[in-house]
Structure formats: C-alpha cells, structure tokens
Structure 1
Amino acid sequence: MSVLFVSGIDTDIGKTYATGMIAKALMQQGIKVITQKLVQTGVAINLDNGDMNIADDIIIHRQLMNLPLQPCDLDFTTCPYRYEKPASPHLSAALAKDILNPNLITDATKALQADYEVVLLEGAGGLMVPITEQLLTLDYIADKGYPVILVTSGRLGSINHTLLSLQAIKARGLSVHSVIYNHIHDDSDNTDAEIAASTIEFLQHYLKQHYQDTYWLQLPIQDDLHQVAMSVPNTFIDKLK
C-alpha cells in the first residue's frame, strides 16, 4: 500500500493536473488508485448544498480519471479540510475560525489505503507552505516519510525553485519519486520557448547526475488533457510496490 505526495515548486504549477493524469495512467494499467487533497482553500462554500463544498481539485481529478465523484469524495474523506479564503491553509483556517488537525488528514489517508493500492496525496502550494502556525507541509510529509512527486515547469525561475525544492526534500531524508515537467505554461505569455527548452535540458541532466533513481515525466502537450493519456513506465509502477 503506497502513498505518494504530489507537490510543486510553487502555487499554480500544475499539481492538480499532474495528480489526475498520473491516477488515470495507473488506472489504465490496472492499479486501484485514489487521489486525496491535503487541504483545499478557495472553495465556494454553500451550506445548503454539500456537493458544492467538495474540493475543486478533487473534482478535477475525477474528471481527468473519467470517474464520477466517489463515496469517499462525498463524505469528504479525500479532503477533510476545505476553506473559502484562497490563501495559505494556516490563514484560511484562522479566518474560518477553525483549527486544522493534521491527524484527521492522516486518518483519512489510512482509511483510503484500506481500499486502494495507491493514494496520490496532493499538497497545497509548495513544500514550505504552512498548514498550521506550527507545521509546514514539508514537516508533515517528513513525519510520514512519503516519497515526493515534484511538479515543475519552464517558466522563468523554475530551475532555481526546482533545485531548492529538491534540496529541501533531500535534507529531510525523503525520496524524490519523480519530477514532472508541466508543458501547460509553455504556451502562455509568461513562458519563453528558449527558457523552457533550456529548463528541460538542464533539469534532466541535473537529475541524471544527482537523482539517478528519480523518474522524469512530462505532462502531454494538449489543449484538452481530458482526452489524452499520460504514459508511465512499468518501473514507475514497480517502485510503488
């Protein structure tokens, strides 16, 4: 039974799409997989309709997996904490006058592990985002020993942010299961094609030098990710076991 933590070098880097696409790829290879969200902020709260309070990222995961919302989504096991303010979890929880208990997240993960072979646990923002006033995301996953899938991109600054993230993971004694390059930003106004190409080349070379056991994967370049498949090598799956 495996848990992989999906983090990113920054917010809005493509963690949600990477999580959903990996889950879809694993499903297609016969792996019983579910996704979970550590905590979701920026949720449109509607007290009269419980379905409206389901984490947005969980909904996207299921769409990418071509699945309806599952019972574990509807009872919020896949995302116990959801807050309206789109901010760091520690602030969103405080503004909601709530106390986020990390043990509740852990219990939810364990419940999912009882029914699934693989749990893909997506974080909120980057590794150093505070979950509570006392606990960073990296503190939490280091305590659990979860291997990390790190999502990056080719926008300016990605090399710096990626290497800092890799060093932070390594310093906590965690393994980097894979690095996923997200092409989504490559067509945006904020990404230079030469910088993106150089980023791919540099990061692939860096991983071969310093992280030989880490997989390099790329999100497909498509306008509609719902219609494409992301291939993962058999060794990627073997490493989950």
Structure 2
Amino acid sequence: MNNIFITGIGTGVGKTVASACVTEALGALYWKPVQAGLQDATDTQTVRALLSEPGLVQDELYRLRMPASPHLAARKEGLIIYEDRIIERAKQLQHPGKPLVIEGAGGLMVPLNGDYFTIDLVKALEAKVIVVAQNYLGSINHCMLTAMALRNAEIPVLGWIFNGDYHSNEDDIISWSHYPRITRIPRARRLNRDFVALQAESMKPALLHQLAL
C-alpha cells in the first residue's frame, strides 16, 4: 500500500495543517479514519477547505462526538473501533500514482480500542511516517520517545515537520533521532489555501527525495 501516515508528538502540534501541506505537495489523497470531536470544524473539513483540489479528501470511517481518545469516545457512544475495517478501507482508497496521506489522532500510543494502539495501525498499514513536532517545554522528551517507538517497531520514517518559530531544539532532535527535517511550517498570519500552497511548494523537493530513498 502507498500510505503516508502523519503522526504527532502529542495533541495540538499542527498535524492537520501539516497533513494539508503534504497532501497538496504530492497531489495525494487525504484521509483521517477516526475523528473524535465534532463540536467545531473537523480535521477533514479543515483540510478540504485548505486544498486546491478538495475532492482529494476522503470521508472519515468513524465520527465520534466526544473530543477524547478514540477508544474513550467510542466507548461513550457504545461503539468499538475495529482496526480491520480501517485497514480494509485504506486498501479500497489506494489509487495508482497517488499516495494516501493518513492523519492519526494524537500520537503513536493513542488507543483505538481496548488493546490496539495507533502505532499498531501504522505497522499494519505498511505506512511511511512523518512526525509533526512543535517546540514547548517537554517537547524534546516527546520527540525522542516517538522516535524510539518508531525505531523499535521498525517503521520507516520520512522525517520531521516542525511547526511554529524556529528553535535550536529541532537541530538537536534531528541529530539524536537520525531522522531528517522535511520542513518547518511557520506560523500563519492567515491560514488559507494560498498559505498551504506556498508551504507545499517549499517542502515538495525534500518530500520527493525522502520518498525516493
């Protein structure tokens, strides 16, 4: 399967904007299998509004009202998230010449059900991973734990996307993790299609280089 999985070192680090930029750069399909939290615009709706080709965005498989860990939100609604359904749907979405960009919920160790974690799904999807990070107190630890989990699981990593203002921490994280920097997405004065198109064009050479390795 031709899958690129976008994960983060935690919640709220900019995965959705990064996913939109990667999707735009590659002319890929975008899919978030599990959406937990429907009060505001969903991540799928946000990405659809940011892409030059909104039709590349696929609908979620699970839409859960509660903004919480997927397993908890599903439990609240009396549902179970079945990993087999996600994997089967990913197979159905495969398109010749178009990668499938899959946005996860939170980080790698977010549970989807009682005994299945996001990192298990990434492995089953045979996906290459992009890790989205942001600088904050404790982010080095979160970055390195994420890198360690990926390496221990023998999951291929394309590299890091850093969000926000530059900090020397990202140079250290690249050195320690041995994963390259794909790009850094600056703070957006206006988050719109023009901003995403600009960032997509900037990151495209590095993305294509990493995918070709």
- Report the TM range for the smaller structure's normalisation: 0.7 to 0.9
- 1:2 counterpart residue number: 2
TM-score computed with the length of structure 2 as normaliser: 0.88
| Paired amino acid for 2:46 | I
CA contact (8 A) 2:2 2:94 kept: yes
Aligned equivalent of 2:185, options 197, 202, 219: 219
- 1:200 counterpart residue number: 170
CA contact (8 A) 2:26 2:204 kept: no
Deviation per residue, 1:43-91 (Å, 9 max, x gap): 14xxxxxxx9xx71111111221334x3874xx3xx1101001111111
Q: Give the total of aligned pairs.
A: 207
- 2:13 counterpart residue number: 13
Shift of 1:224: 1.6
CA contact (8 A) 2:25 2:204 kept: no
- 1:35 counterpart residue number: 30
- 1:26 counterpart residue number: 26
How far apart are the structure 2 equivalents of 1:162 and 1:100?
A: 27
- 1:191 counterpart residue number: none
Q: Does residue 205 of structure 2 align to residue 234 of structure 1?
A: yes
| Paired amino acid for 2:184 | Q
How far apart are the structure 1 equivalents of 2:210 and 2:8?
A: 21
Q: Output aligned runs, 1:1-241, within 5 Å.
A: 2-27=2-27, 33-44=28-39, 56-68=42-54, 70=55, 73=58, 76=59, 79-114=60-95, 117-183=98-164, 186=165, 197-207=167-177, 210-211=178-179, 214-226=180-192, 227-228=194-195, 229-230=198-199, 231-234=202-205, 236-240=207-211
Question: Is the partner of 2:90 in helix, strand or coil?
Answer: helix
5+ unaligned residues in a row in structure 2: which ranges? none
- Output the aligned Cα RMSD: 2.2
| Paired amino acid for 1:92 | A
CA contact (8 A) 1:34 1:116 kept: no
Deviation above 3 Å: which 4+ runs of structure 1?
70-73, 238-241
CA contact (8 A) 2:48 2:57 kept: no
CA contact (8 A) 2:112 2:118 kept: yes
5+ unaligned residues in a row in structure 1: which ranges? 28-32, 45-51, 187-195
Deviation per residue, 1:161-202 (Å, 9 max, x gap): 00000000000011111100011xx4xxxxxxxxx6231232
CA contact (8 A) 1:215 1:236 kept: no
TM-score computed with the length of structure 1 as normaliser: 0.78
Shift of 1:38: 2.7
Question: Is the partner of 2:116 in helix, strand or coil?
Answer: coil
Shift of 1:145: 2.5
Shift of 1:142: 1.7
